[in-house]
């Protein structure tokens, strides 16, 4: 039996980790021991998603959320991970590496006595990544200057931002813009400085760059393009950045932008120092030179990831690094794998700005054609680069999308597949074309980060038993890195299930293939007001008890039409159709609104009198109000006439709409209360009453953290603080209880209301039918963070629009019962028998229990049962 | 199927229940016919159907309050109580083969809806 071989991996970043993982999965550890030495204090984490550390950090789990190795160790004991340690030297003759721990000991053994160990290797894998390039600008070493690469960098930026008011990012590339957005999120007045005449010069052309500037500025970032940085100003701390126009000489007039934080994002350089020191060949522009098997000039040493330069080119993306890791494992298993270059497509992960660039974006291929669609008002720029074949068909070579990159997931794989495009390829970027639908060949690469093809995804579904997108993601890794391919993965999985007749149809019902959200948009765009128009244009048949109430709800959210208007009344679910809740014997319950649970003695007396006079069963509900049961349909108008005259309104217990906003007594009476929770609960209940939504909505307001109103068990819950209000969203009781989570803390009442307006309207617009807020948030791409981006940060720029929609609702509100009583046509429906209005329904009768009525099960009543 | 008007119609077998316009399109009303509760519906194309009003699943007299629509080619009403669909032409329950309600002959004469006798189950 041959001796076990030793592999040493230098660097535990994304690629070093992928190597170790592949070594375990592909059986390399059967014959090899692996030692991984990593310099950072923690195991490999998702650097691509680094920026999301800020939002996770707010929840206290920044590190765990990003880690690629939960638990911090590999399951396979033959892989050993040593962290917080640096490889300082490679001895190629002896085949050893020297490791110093902790890294602070390097170069200063006296100040930091570190442990020094020497390890033998048979195979050495360099995966040392890259380091940010900091241009030699005077002042670049001042306190307040940072780079953007590790969790420690982000921790430092966050700490410095706490006392800063403005920040500058040097470099307007992909990473620079991501960093700039982070500074905005940290509350800094943010500037980006770029030497080139446009942002993202590597990926975008001029027109796309200037479209991008408009989007970036809407996010609150000031872009300075075509400028050179002269000096970072300050004595020991940064105070500002001095710059001059590009193309001017040194000494030309300069301008200074004030800032207390400066982030350098001017490119990266491969970390190839170890290789240089042991005389391995390096590429002209840096990076360890390797062949197609990622072997360096020493056959026992490989280099992978950002530190490597296959054929002289380094790749600053994770996907090529992953491919290289797989190639080396393959080589060690005597496999045929090679790395011959990679797709450099990119999609910006910036909040709310869609930017993508893929393939031959600059039309460098001879005889290629450019198709451009641009809409300056909407901030959309789309360019496709295509080649026309002799046969007259088109092939996609590349493209740029700004402002709307929804087609990216479909277009990018088109480039590698070489599939012929439709005859009029411009349809792919014209807005009227809607979604792009193209057959994709099996070998089209869907996920470029993890090199997953369409065939791999179908295999996972058909052979590996994956039942949904989440399982496919786990099984193939597709979508687990940058996430830009997730919509395409989802489409493929859904299409497949549809093709084998499995019901994953997102459509509402047999009459509509659209989801509720899609229908909502269709109705908004076309301004439909009638079911007939909607079903004729977008559906089939005549509707059912699923789509009709959903459309009724959508129409009600967009207009303030009364639910019993002719043509609308017939769409309503039973309860809405009679503005009351049907009971098990066919009678109805009556629930007047009691905002916040506060009620005067006079009103209590009226409720008592009405209940007595109509012989209704009364009960205090779980929602701080009173329910009157056992009303016959034809009695409803008379009951409500009495209630409306006494100043009551509909409580919408029947609607998918706001129910109650529960309150506790709060600061008015309670010795612990810090704010007027009753007052706020009443104001919120009155503001949102009547709002039709995908499911019912409940709210709560507590006067202090003791939380007697159970606000966190509601769709929106407000808890008073010394400084204002904490707003929680996404809670409910019921079948699947959920605790509401914090959306914004310590806000004043005005801010609270505007956040709530936005939150509720965003929910009304985009949730599925019968989806409570908790499940909606859970299923939203990005979850609560996404909600916060839209509602609090206004990343989509939708805030004003959502608030205006709510203002329209509030302004258009009218009590449904009062309006019904005033309209003979609406009242006409409240009869049991059209031809015998005075005959009550003979199947309804009651007995008495605990001094109140109780229904007798209709089956026991011996009247006119059908033959 | 809607019965055609025949000359031997008598007061005995047909009951006038309401003006056809009193039934909303894709809506229903309940009527008393010979002491029985009958639900009378109008579909989108204006045709009129009548079924027994008692929902067999809840034993409540409520079918006329259901949502009228279609399932495949069949015009249906779904019970407001537990949502089972009934074929307006036959009374058959499309969600449970063993259940159904009687279907009645119905005619529209001079703008008035007349309900006849329950048809034999088919
Ligand atoms: C009357 C009441 C029970 C009571 O006697 O206290 C009640 C009665 C009904 N509830 Fe409820 N719920 C009542 C409080 C609650 C509560 C407690 C609360 O609001 O604090 C909950 C749990 C909290 C929550 O919703 O998050 C609750 C969770 C449900 C659910 C489950 C919802 C879920 O997301 O899982 C349903 C079913 C549904 O809505 O689809 C439901 C549905 C119903 C319906 C509407 C069922 C129906 O369609 O017939 C009941 C008829 C109401 C009627 O006739 O007036 N009811 N229901 C309460 C009326 C409150 C009010 O004043 O409006
Ligand atoms: C903010 C940000 C956003 C990004 N977004 C994207 C994106 O959207 N798409 C994309 O494809 N890529 C993106 N990238 C790039 C991506 O993160 C890198 O391509 C990827 O991390 C490279 O992996 P690597 O393992 O080669 O390097 P790294 O992940 O940097 O890992 C190298 C590791 O080696 C350690 N090391 C170095 N020298 C030594 C030594 N001598 N001894 C011990 N350890 C050592 C380093 O400390 C580091 O932990 C982004 C990068 C950043 C910073
Ligand atoms: S939540 Fe606080 S203020 Fe409200 S009743 Fe309870 S203890 Fe009092
Ligand atoms: S393309 Fe990045 S995760 Fe799939």
- DSSP class per residue in A754-793: HHHHHHHHHHHHHPPTT--HHHHHHHSTTHHHHHHHHHTS
CA dist., res. A187 & res. A185, Å (int): 5
- Residue A99 CA: nearest ligand 2 atom is 42
Q: Taking residues B32-47, what's their average pLDDT?
A: 94
Residues 11-40 (B) with a CB less than 8 A from some CB of A: 15-18, 22, 24-27, 29-32, 35-37, 40
- Residue scoring higher pLDDT (A515 or B6): A515
What are φ and ψ of residue A603, in 5° steps? -70, -35
Note the pLDDT of residue A780: 84
pLDDT digits (tens, 9 = 90+) for A586-596: 999 999 999 99
Chain A residues lying within 8 Å of B59, measured CB to CB:
843, 857-859
DSSP per position, A41-70: SS--B-GGGGGGHHHHHHHT-HHHHHBSST
pLDDT bin (cut points 50, 70, 90) of residue B120 is low
Chain B closest-CA separation from residue A652 CA (Å): 18
pLDDT digits (tens, 9 = 90+) for B5-38: 443 444 447 899 999 999 999 999 999 998 899 9
For residue A177, give both structure tokens: 């813009």
pLDDT bin (cut points 50, 70, 90) of residue A108 is low
Note the pLDDT of residue A369: 82
CA dist., res. A303 & res. A294, Å (int): 6
Is A541's CB within 8 Å of B69's CB? Answer: yes
Place of tokens 């984490």: A45
Distance A309 CA to ligand 4 centre (A): 22
CA dist., res. A587 & res. B61, Å (int): 10
| 3-state DSSP assignment of residue A426 | helix
Of A42-46, A449-453, B53-57, B78-82, which gets the smallest average pLDDT?
A: A449-453
CA dist., res. A841 & res. B62, Å (int): 10
Biggest alpha carbon–alpha carbon distance for chain B: 41
Chain A residues lying within 8 Å of B68, measured CB to CB:
542, 570
Q: Using an 8 Å Cβ cutoff, are A173 and A150 in contact?
A: no
The angle subtended at Cα A533 by Cα A532 and Cα A537, nearest 5°, is 115
Instruction: Return all residues near A527 (Cβ < 8 A) that are at least 6 apart.
Output: none
CA dist., res. A289 & res. A529, Å (int): 66
Q: Which of A573, A120, A221 is nearest to B65 (CA)?
A: A573
Q: Is the predicted pLDDT of residue A864 greater than 80, yes or no?
A: no
Is B26's CB within 8 Å of A577's CB? Answer: no
CATH number attached to the domain at A134-266 = 3.50.50.60
Q: Is the CB of A320 under 6 A from ligand 2?
A: no
b/e per residue A696-735 (b: at least 16 CB within 10 A): bbbbbbbbbeeebbbbbbbbbbbbbeeebbbbbbbbbeee
Q: Taking residues A642-650, what's their average pLDDT?
A: 97
| C-alpha distances in Å from residue A363, one per residue of A1, A199, A356, A398, A727 | 57, 19, 15, 8, 50
A-to-B residue pairs, Cβ atoms closer than 8 angstroms: 122
| C-alpha distances in Å from residue A235, one per residue of A141, A240, A489 | 11, 11, 53
CATH number, position B27 = 2.102.10.10
Q: Taking residues A627-637, what's their average pLDDT?
A: 96
pLDDT bin (cut points 50, 70, 90) of residue A430 is low
pLDDT digits (tens, 9 = 90+) for A303-333: 999 999 999 999 988 989 999 999 999 999 9
Chain B closest-CA separation from residue A510 CA (Å): 8
Note the pLDDT of residue A684: 97
Please give the sequence-ordered ranges of beta strands (E in DSSP) within A507-612, or none if there are none. 581-582, 588-590
| 3-state DSSP assignment of residue A738 | strand
Distance A53 CA to ligand 4 centre (A): 19
* Domain layout of chain A by residue ranges: 5-131+270-332, 134-266, 516-578, 579-650+815-867, 656-814
Q: Taking residues A167-189, what's their average pLDDT?
A: 92
ipTM over the 0.85 cut-off: no
Average pLDDT, chain A: 89
CA dist., res. A583 & res. A654, Å (int): 11
Of A547, A831, A843, the CB nearest to B61: A843
- Residue scoring higher pLDDT (A743 or A1): A743
Distance A130 CA to ligand 2 centre (A): 6
% of chain A exceeding 90 in pLDDT: 59
Q: Is the predicted pLDDT of residue A505 greater than 70, yes or no?
A: no
pLDDT digits (tens, 9 = 90+) for A114-161: 788 999 999 999 999 999 999 999 999 999 999 999 999 999 999 999
pLDDT digits (tens, 9 = 90+) for A802-849: 999 999 999 999 999 999 999 998 998 899 999 998 889 988 999 999
Cα B85 off chain centre by? 13
Of B36, B69, B80, the CB nearest to A574: B80
Highest CATH level, class, for A579-650+815-867: alpha beta
CA dist., res. A48 & res. A70, Å (int): 17
Q: Using an 8 Å Cβ cutoff, are A775 and A748 in contact?
A: no
Highest CATH level, class, for A656-814: alpha beta
Protein residue with its CA nearest to atom 2 in ligand 4: A482
Note the pLDDT of residue A635: 96
Note the pLDDT of residue A862: 45
Distance A766 CA to ligand 3 centre (A): 34
Domain count for chain B, please give it: 1
Positive/negative CA dihedral, A532, A538, A541, A546: negative
Q: Is the CB of A128 under 6 A from ligand 2?
A: yes
| 3-state DSSP assignment of residue A741 | strand
CA dist., res. A557 & res. A820, Å (int): 19
Return the axis-axis angle of helices A799-812 and A749-766, rounded to nearest 10°. 90
Distance A49 CA to ligand 4 centre (A): 12
Chain B residues lying within 8 Å of A841, measured CB to CB:
37, 61
Region for residue A179 given its phi and psi (left: phi exceeds 0; alpha: psi -120 to 50; beta: otherwise): alpha
pLDDT digits (tens, 9 = 90+) for A187-230: 999 999 999 999 998 889 988 888 888 888 888 899 999 999 99
Of A483-487, A647-651, A785-789, which gets the smallest average pLDDT?
A: A483-487
Note the pLDDT of residue A431: 59
pLDDT digits (tens, 9 = 90+) for A35-86: 999 999 999 999 998 988 887 776 667 778 889 998 889 999 999 999 999 9
CA dist., res. B115 & res. B106, Å (int): 4
pTM for this entry: 0.54
Place of tokens 């198709």: A371
Residue of A21, A35, A39, A157 best suited for mutating to test ligand 2, as the one with most atoms within 8 Å of CB: A39
pLDDT digits (tens, 9 = 90+) for A673-701: 999 999 999 999 999 999 999 999 999 99
Distance A744 CA to ligand 3 centre (A): 20
% of chain B exceeding 90 in pLDDT: 72
For residue A117, give both structure tokens: 């160990």
Domains A5-131+270-332 and A656-814 share a fold: no
DSSP per position, A180-248: HHHHHHTT-EEEEE-SSSSSSTTT--HHHHHHHHHHHHHTTEEEE-SEEEEEEE-SSB--EEEEEETTP
DSSP H or E segment with residue A642:
helix A636-645
Note the pLDDT of residue A617: 97
Protein residue with its CA nearest to atom 28 in ligand 1: A734
Q: How would you class A80 by CB atoms within 10 Å of its CB: exposed for 0-12, middle for 13-18, buried for 19 or more?
A: middle
Instruction: Return all residues near A237 (Cβ < 8 A) that are at least 6 apart.
Output: A142, A143, A144, A260
Note the pLDDT of residue A694: 92
Q: Which of A397, A454, A448 is nearest to A420 (CA)?
A: A397
| 3-state DSSP assignment of residue A145 | strand
Q: Is the CB of A276 under 6 A from ligand 1?
A: no
Residue of A345, A484, A489 best suited for mutating to test ligand 4, as the one with most atoms within 8 Å of CB: A484
Protein residue with its CA nearest to atom 6 in ligand 2: A48
Is A545's CB within 8 Å of B67's CB? Answer: yes
CA dist., res. A586 & res. B79, Å (int): 11
Chain B residues lying within 8 Å of A539, measured CB to CB:
none
CATH number attached to the domain at A5-131+270-332 = 3.50.50.60
* 3-class secondary structure per residue, B25-90: CCEEEEEEECCEEEEEEECCCCCEEEEECECCCCCCECHHHCEEEEECCEEEEECCCCCCEEECCC
Chain B residues lying within 8 Å of A831, measured CB to CB:
29
Q: Using an 8 Å Cβ cutoff, are A575 and A655 in contact?
A: yes
Chain B residues lying within 8 Å of A839, measured CB to CB:
32
- Residue scoring higher pLDDT (A549 or A523): A549
Q: Is the CB of A485 under 6 A from ligand 4?
A: yes
Q: Taking residues A4-29, what's their average pLDDT?
A: 96
Per this entry, what is the length of chain A? 867
pLDDT digits (tens, 9 = 90+) for A456-476: 998 998 888 888 777 888 888
Protein residue with its CA nearest to atom 2 in ligand 2: A48
Q: Using an 8 Å Cβ cutoff, are A118 and A3 in contact?
A: no
Q: Using an 8 Å Cβ cutoff, are A543 and A559 in contact?
A: no
CA dist., res. B42 & res. A441, Å (int): 50
10 Å Cβ neighbour count for A207? 16
Residue B72 contacts A where some CB pair is shorter than 8 Å: yes
Is A542's CB within 8 Å of B18's CB? Answer: no
Is A865's CB within 8 Å of B31's CB? Answer: no
Protein residue with its CA nearest to atom 21 in ligand 1: A734
For residue B83, give both structure tokens: 């949502």
Note the pLDDT of residue B9: 43
Q: Domain limits at B42?
A: 5-118
CA dist., res. B84 & res. B71, Å (int): 11
What are φ and ψ of residue A514, in 5° steps? -85, 155
């Amino acid at each position: 039996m041959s001796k076990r071989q030793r592999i040493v991996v230098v660097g535990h970043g994304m690629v070093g980790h992928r190597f170790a993982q592949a070594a375990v999965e592909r059986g390399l550890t059967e014959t090899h021991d692996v030692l991984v030495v990593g310099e950072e204090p923690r195991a490999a984490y998702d650097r691509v998603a680094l920026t999301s550390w800020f939002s996770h950090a707010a929840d206290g789990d920044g590190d765990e959320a990003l880690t690629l190795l939960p638990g911090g160790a590999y399951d396979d004991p033959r892989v050993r991970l040593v962290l917080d340690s640096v490889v300082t030297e490679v001895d190629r003759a002896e085949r050893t590496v020297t490791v110093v721990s902790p890294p602070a000991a390097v170069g200063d053994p006296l100040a930091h006595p570190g442990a020094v160990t020497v390890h033998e290797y048979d195979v050495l894998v360099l995966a040392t990544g890259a380091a940010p390039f900091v241009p030699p600008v005077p002042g670049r070493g001042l306190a307040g200057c940072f780079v953007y690469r590790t969790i420690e960098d982000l921790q430092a930026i966050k700490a410095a931002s706490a006392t800063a008011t403005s920040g500058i990012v040097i470099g307007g590339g992909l990473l620079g813009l991501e960093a700039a957005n982070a500074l905005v999120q940290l509350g800094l007045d943010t500037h980006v400085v770029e030497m080139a005449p446009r942002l993202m010069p590597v990926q975008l052309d001029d027109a796309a760059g200037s479209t991008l500037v408009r989007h970036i500025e809407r996010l609150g970032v000031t872009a300075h393009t075509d400028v050179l940085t002269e000096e970072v100003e300050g004595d020991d701390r940064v105070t500002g950045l001095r710059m001059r126009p590009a193309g001017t000489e040194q000494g030309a007039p300069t301008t200074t932008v004030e800032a207390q934080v400066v982030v350098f994002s001017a490119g990266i350089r491969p970390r190839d120092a170890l290789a240089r020191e042991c005389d391995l060949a390096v590429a002209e522009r840096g990076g360890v030179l390797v062949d197609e098997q990622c072997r360096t000039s020493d056959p026992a040493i490989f280099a992978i990831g950002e530190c490597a330069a296959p054929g002289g080119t380094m790749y600053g993306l994770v996907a090529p690094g992953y491919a290289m890791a797989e190639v080396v494992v393959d080589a060690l298993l005597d496999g045929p794998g090679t790395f011959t270059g990679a797709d450099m497509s990119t999609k910006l992960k910036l909040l709310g700005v869609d930017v993508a660039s893929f393939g031959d974006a600059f039309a460098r291929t001879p005889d290629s054609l450019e198709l451009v669609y641009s809409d300056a008002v909407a901030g959309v720029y789309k360019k496709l680069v295509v080649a026309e074949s002799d046969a007259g068909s088109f092939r996609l070579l590349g493209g740029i999308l700004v402002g709307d990159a929804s087609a990216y997931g479909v277009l990018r794989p088109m480039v590698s597949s070489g599939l012929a495009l439709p005859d009029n390829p411009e349809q792919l970027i014209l807005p009227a074309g809607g979604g792009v639908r193209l057959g994709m060949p099996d070998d089209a690469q869907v996920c470029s980060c993890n090199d997953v093809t369409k065939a791999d995804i179908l295999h996972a579904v058909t052979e590996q038993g994956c039942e949904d997108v989440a399982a496919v993601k786990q099984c193939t890794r597709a979508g687990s890195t940058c996430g830009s391919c997730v919509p395409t993965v989802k489409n493929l999985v859904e299409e497949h299930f549809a093709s084998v007749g499995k019901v994953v149809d997102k459509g509402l019902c047999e009459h509509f293939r659209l989801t509720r959200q899609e229908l909502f948009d269709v109705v908004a765009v076309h301004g439909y007001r009638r079911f007939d128009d909607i079903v004729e244009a977008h559906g089939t048949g005549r509707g059912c008890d699923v789509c009709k109430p959903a459309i009724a709800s959508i129409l009600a959210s967009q207009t303030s039409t009364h639910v019993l208007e002719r043509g609308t009344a017939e769409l309503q679910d039973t309860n809405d159709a009679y503005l009351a809740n049907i009971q098990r014997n066919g009678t109805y319950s009556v629930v007047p609104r009691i905002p916040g649970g506060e009620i005067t003695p006079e009103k209590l007396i009226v409720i008592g009198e009405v209940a007595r006079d109509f012989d209704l069963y009364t009960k205090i509900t779980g929602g701080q109000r009173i329910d009157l049961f056992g009303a016959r349909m034809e009695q409803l108008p008379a009951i409500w006439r009495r209630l409306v005259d006494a100043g009551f309104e509909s409580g919408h217990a029947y609607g998918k709409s706001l129910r109650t906003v529960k309150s506790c007594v709060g600061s008015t009476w309670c010795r612990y209360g810090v704010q007027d929770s009753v007052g706020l609960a009443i104001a919120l209940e009155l503001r949102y009453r009547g709002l039709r939504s995908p499911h019912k909505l409940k709210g709560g307001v507590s006067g202090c953290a003791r939380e007697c109103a159970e606000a966190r068990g509601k769709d929106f819950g407000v808890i008073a603080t010394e400084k204002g209000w904490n707003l929680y969203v996404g809670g409910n009781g019921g079948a699947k209880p959920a605790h509401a989570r914090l959306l914004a803390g310590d806000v004043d009442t005005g801010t609270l209301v505007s956040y709530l307006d936005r939150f509720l309207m965003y929910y009304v617009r985009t949730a599925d039918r019968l989806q409570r807020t908790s499940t909606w948030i859970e299923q939203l791409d990005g979850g609560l963070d996404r909600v916060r981006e839209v509602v609090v940060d206004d990343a989509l720029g939708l805030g004003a629009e959502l608030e205006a929609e709510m203002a329209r609702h509030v302004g258009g509100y009218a009590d449904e019962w009062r309006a019904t009583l005033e309209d003979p046509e609406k009242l006409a429906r409240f009869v049991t028998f059209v031809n015998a209005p005075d005959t009550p329904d003979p199947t309804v009768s009651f007995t008495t229990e605990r001094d109140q009525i109780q229904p007798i099960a209709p089956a026991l009543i011996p009247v006119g049962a059908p033959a | 199927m809607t019965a055609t008007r025949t000359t031997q119609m008598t007061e005995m077998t047909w009951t006038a229940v309401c003006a056809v316009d009193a039934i909303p399109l894709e809506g229903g009303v309940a009527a008393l016919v010979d002491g029985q509760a009958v639900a009378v519906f109008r579909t989108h194309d204006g045709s009129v159907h009548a079924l027994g009003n008692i929902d067999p699943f809840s034993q409540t007299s409520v079918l006329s309050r259901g949502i009228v629509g279609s399932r495949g080619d069949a015009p249906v009403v779904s019970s407001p109580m537990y949502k089972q669909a009934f074929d307006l032409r036959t009374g058959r329950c499309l969600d449970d083969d063993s259940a159904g309600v009687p279907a009645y002959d119905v005619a529209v004469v001079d703008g008035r809806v007349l309900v006849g006798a329950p048809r034999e189950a088919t």
